Amino acid sequence: MAVTIKDVARLADVAPSTVSRVIANNPRISEKTKRKVKEAMEYLGYHPNFNARSLANRSTQAIGLVMPSSADHAFQNPFFPEVIRGISTKAHEKEYALYMSTGKTEDEIFDGVVQMVQGRRVDGIILLYSRVDDRIMTYLQQQQFPFTVIGKPFKNADCITHIDNDNYKASQELTEYLISLGHERIGFVGGNLNLVVTIDRLLGYEKAIRDAALDYKDHYIVHEQFLKEGGQEAVKELFSLPDPPTALVVMDDLMTFGVISTLKELGLSVPDDISVASFNNVMISELSTPPLTSVDINIFQLGYEAAVGLLDCIQTCKLGKRVVVPHKLIIRQSCKPKLEGLETKETV
Amino acid sequence: MAVTIKDVARLADVAPSTVSRVIANNPRISEKTKRKVKEAMEYLGYHPNFNARSLANRSTQAIGLVMPSSADHAFQNPFFPEVIRGISTKAHEKEYALYMSTGKTEDEIFDGVVQMVQGRRVDGIILLYSRVDDRIMTYLQQQQFPFTVIGKPFKNADCITHIDNDNYKASQELTEYLISLGHERIGFVGGNLNLVVTIDRLLGYEKAIRDAALDYKDHYIVHEQFLKEGGQEAVKELFSLPDPPTALVVMDDLMTFGVISTLKELGLSVPDDISVASFNNVMISELSTPPLTSVDINIFQLGYEAAVGLLDCIQTCKLGKRVVVPHKLIIRQSCKPKLEGLETKETV
DNA sequence: TTGTAAGCGTTATCAT
DNA sequence: ATGATAACGCTTACAA
């Protein structure tokens, strides 16, 4: 049996409540007994039982993390480790631990959240993604349970604390960059259209295209899943068009790897035959061949601020803050100017 | 105030203990009351309080995960999401959740583990790495707390349940593959020498080199940190030797990206000027340019089996099993035969 | 088959 | 400044 507060109390010759006060660093306790108790704790190797504390306290010192279904392989995206690193950093400052429910399907994940919330396993929750019509978000709102969202809520954005980039603007800028290189036929390779981030980036792209008085063509827009499976088809179709794009805006660095790989199969090379620009600027982007031009969205900070926001929620029960994390275009070697009059070689 | 077991009991007109039995699915309870209680639970929207249950039960239904310090960026390695996906899958089958302590430095992480253990936050722990002389492992052994290790414990391997690849053999095979392509000057780019996996792979490499009666040269062996920072130097040195290697065995796909990028700076291209082979076969390996020849170590299964082993430990309190997850050489395009008499061009 | 009551290890509310 | 004592919500002997 582990050593409890009572054992400490007995050894220090005080009441259990006194020991509890010492732990909580209650100011009105004499230095003398404080020392005495601490010695006893040290001697016995005492460590507080978190469950007992949570029960009495109704606070767990843990934050729940909700990821997209690990079934779709979004999981493998380096975005997640990095955003968690950000969350973890802030959490640690306040001595919070992280809690993840397990579960593959939609329903399992939802049940996991319910368990976290109703089972009082966590003090608050961070949603690591934002989708159109998300049950979980609706549920958390109903429950008035503290939570923050990474990304922009599809609706009620002004009463949900969320941390986001200005993806609309970022996408617009990225597209404008390609336009400034002389590209006129620019495709968009998006991911899951249920994700709000996909929508925002698509809209930003459209804005830039229209502002530049270029044709906004539906068939320049394809959506592959974040990773390669199946997505290859979409890209291949794009390049079997009579007027294939000369540049591509891609949702995500990881997807870009898939795109580049597919293009290579088609005999097209980046950036010589086609320019590619994307988002996230994960570490490997810099190391890839060619190094990717990418919008750095400050993933770490996204996570850090989400934790800041959540801890705020937990303390003050206030919701509705919007934090915008700045982005920055990082220009590397995956884009080249479109030379006037020099047509991209037609696909096979 | 949340709805408790008492509320349910009152509504169903039974004793709290009966409700508890229904939850636990106790066989000796009449179908009638079982139904009655379940209805009441449904009606009130009852959910058990996990802390209370843990306290009474001394079981948390949570598994603690210990990662290497997130300070060194090992974290970004896709190995971790994938191994966690494996763990998560098994954990979910048995309705366990995952718990991660936060903390950057060695000491913080150690304290986190102590809190998990002594604070009864988890039922068992999985170490996601294995190092030489690890305090945490020593501590867990002393405490006789259920844990499993991914990788091979440096010592006491036979009394610690661990899940590992046969890294020695894998490395030997990978090196032999390079030798079979005609390479005679083969370098080894390792990572942190405190990691047991590094040591095993280095030894396997050495074995293959010696078996083939090639020179085992110390200066063909460099150790860069897992990610690029600083590591560039080591690789550069390697290629300023009078007799630079024509092929490289690299610890890890992610490191390979760094290596390839550095080589490109030196004007060397893979696989034309130099062959590179590595380990892990993370998803991007297939999508990279060139696609990497890599040993698939079944990361998912590594995680899955670690969870299996841990849950076993928790139930039976038995330790000391060793599970070897099979590996498989995946040949792609990062290696080329060394042509006889055709010297690699000297570095600048 | 079900109820009663004593824990589980804390914190919190009174007293003193 | 400290001590009793009652929660916190659940499980589990032991009784019935």
Q: What is the pLDDT of residues A80-126, one digit of tens each?
A: 999 999 999 999 999 999 999 898 899 999 999 999 999 999 999 99
Q: Are strands A293-296 and A328-330 parallel, antiparallel or unpaired?
A: antiparallel
What's the rounded Cα separation, in Å, for the pair B323 and B152? Answer: 10
Predicted local confidence at residue A89, as pLDDT:
95
Query: B107 to chain A: which residues are within 8 Å by CB?
Result: none
- Cβ-based neighbours of B239, under 8 Å, separated by 6 or more: B245, B263, B266, B268, B347
Helix (H, G, I), strand (E, B) or coil at B161: coil
Q: Please, which pLDDT band fits residue B167 given cuts at 50, 70 and 90?
A: very high
Residues 6+ apart with CB under 8 A from B170: B201, B204, B279, B295, B297, B327, B329
Q: How confident is the model at residue A235 (pLDDT cuts 50, 70, 90)?
A: confident
Taking the C-alpha atoms of residue A214 and residue A282, their distance in angstroms, rounded to an integer, is 30
pLDDT tens for each residue of B218-253: 989 998 764 555 567 778 888 999 999 999 999 999
Q: Are B78 and B45 in contact (CB under 8 A)?
A: no
B-interface mutation test, from A287, A299, A300, A310, most B Cβ less than 10 A away: A287
Which of A316 and B60 is assigned the larger pLDDT? B60
> In sequence order, what are the beta bridge partners of A293?
A277
B31: the nucleotide nearest its CA (via C1') is: C1
3-state secondary structure of A187: strand
CA distance B225 to B220: 16
**What percentage of chain A's residues is helix, strand, coil (to nearest 5)?**
45, 15, 40
What band does A37 get if pLDDT is binned at 50, 70 and 90?
very high
- How long is the CA A51 to C1' C16 vector, in angstroms? 31
Over residues B117-122, the mean pLDDT reads 95
Q: Quick one: closest CA in B to A109, which residue?
A: B92
What's this model's pTM, rounded to 2 decimal places? Answer: 0.94
The predicted model gives B67-90 an average pLDDT of 84
What's the pLDDT at B228? 54
State which residue of chain B sits closest to A227, comparing Cα positions: B283
Identify any residues that bridge with B275 across adjacent strands, giving them in sequence order: B247
With a cut of 50, say whether residue A347 has pLDDT above it.
no
Stronger pLDDT, A76 or A200, i.e. the higher one:
A200
Residue A91 in contact with residue A308, Cβ under 8 Å?
A: no
For nucleic chain C, give residues with Cβ below 7 angstroms from it.
Answer: A 1-2, 4-6, 16-17, 20, 23-24, 46-49, 52-53, 55-57; B 13-18, 21, 26, 28-30, 32-34, 52, 55-56
Round and report the angstrom distance from CA (B91) to C1' (D13): 31
Residue type, B140: L
Contact partners, residue A285, CB within 8 Å, separation at least 6: A253, A256, A278, A291, A292, A294, A330, A332
Which of A3, A51, A85 to mutate against chain B (most B CBs within 10 Å)? Answer: A51
CA distances from A336 to A272, A293, B128 (A): 7, 10, 42
Check: CB of residue B133 under 8 Å from CB of residue B154: yes
Instruction: For nucleic chain D, give residues with Cβ below 7 angstroms from it.
Output: A 13-18, 21, 26-30, 32-34, 52, 55-56; B 1-2, 4-6, 16-17, 20-21, 23-24, 46, 48-49, 52-53, 55-57
Residue A141, CB half-sphere, CA atoms under 13 Å: how many? 16
pLDDT band at B70 (very low <50, low <70, confident <90, very high): low
* Percentage, residues of chain A above pLDDT 90: 77
Dihedral of the CA atoms A168, A170, A172, A178 (nearest 10)?
Answer: -150
Q: Does B100 touch chain A (CB under 8 A)?
A: yes
Nearest 5°: phi and psi at B81?
A: -55, -40
The beta strands (E) that lie in B182-301 are given as 186-190, 221-223, 247-250, 275-280, 293-296
Residue given tokens 């990691």 in the structure block: B195
Å between CA of B15 and C1' of C16: 38
- Give φ, ψ of B158 to 5 degrees: -85, -5
Nearest to A75 among B85, B118, B228 (CB): B85
Q: Which residue of A has its CA nearest to B58?
A: A51
A162 CA → C11 C1’, Å: 33
Distances in Å between the alpha carbon of A207 and those of A152, A165, A202, A203, A329?
19, 17, 9, 6, 18
In chain B, what residues touch A50 (CB-CB under 8 Å)? 115, 119-121
